[in-house]
Amino acid sequence: MDNKQIAKQFIDNLFVNNDKAYEVLADDVKVNWPGFGMDDIVGKENLRKFLDEGGPDRVLNQNIHNMIAEGDTVIADGNILTEKEGKQETSHFADVYKIHDGKIVSLCSYMVFDKRNEK
């Protein structure tokens, strides 16, 4: 699997088939969401716990618009429609992945939440 395929496996399976998503993460993966006002999440199990507690109930639709890879870096952008407690939300993302020896070692995810449908 090349680095783009590794990042795509993570994106396609997060919140859908988490075991398949997490199998491409390094045990000590570092995840950062700039602008969320929180510390980095370090470790695959800490990420799993964080997303289990605060992530969406399910993914309704997801689109990857672009994926660019150079060396150990993959950048992907797209959007995702999720549902949590009956409320749907669209967010747009630009993710920067660092991959080493077939595993994602870091992820920096820039997210913007679509407010057009909010009431």
**10-57 pLDDT per residue, tens:** 999 988 878 899 999 999 999 999 978 789 999 999 999 988 887 788
Domains of the chain and any CATH numbers: 3-113 (3.10.450.50)
**What pTM did the predictor assign?**
0.89
The pLDDT assigned to 117 comes to: 62
- DSSP string over the chain: --HHHHHHHHHHHTTTSHHHHHTTEEEEEEEE-TTS--PPEESHHHHHHHHHHHS-SEEEEEEEEEEEEETTEEEEEEEEEEEETTEEEEEEEEEEEEEETTEEEEEEEEEEE--TT--
**73-97 pLDDT per residue, tens:** 999 999 999 888 888 989 999 999 9
Q: pLDDT grade, residue 114 (50/70/90)?
A: confident
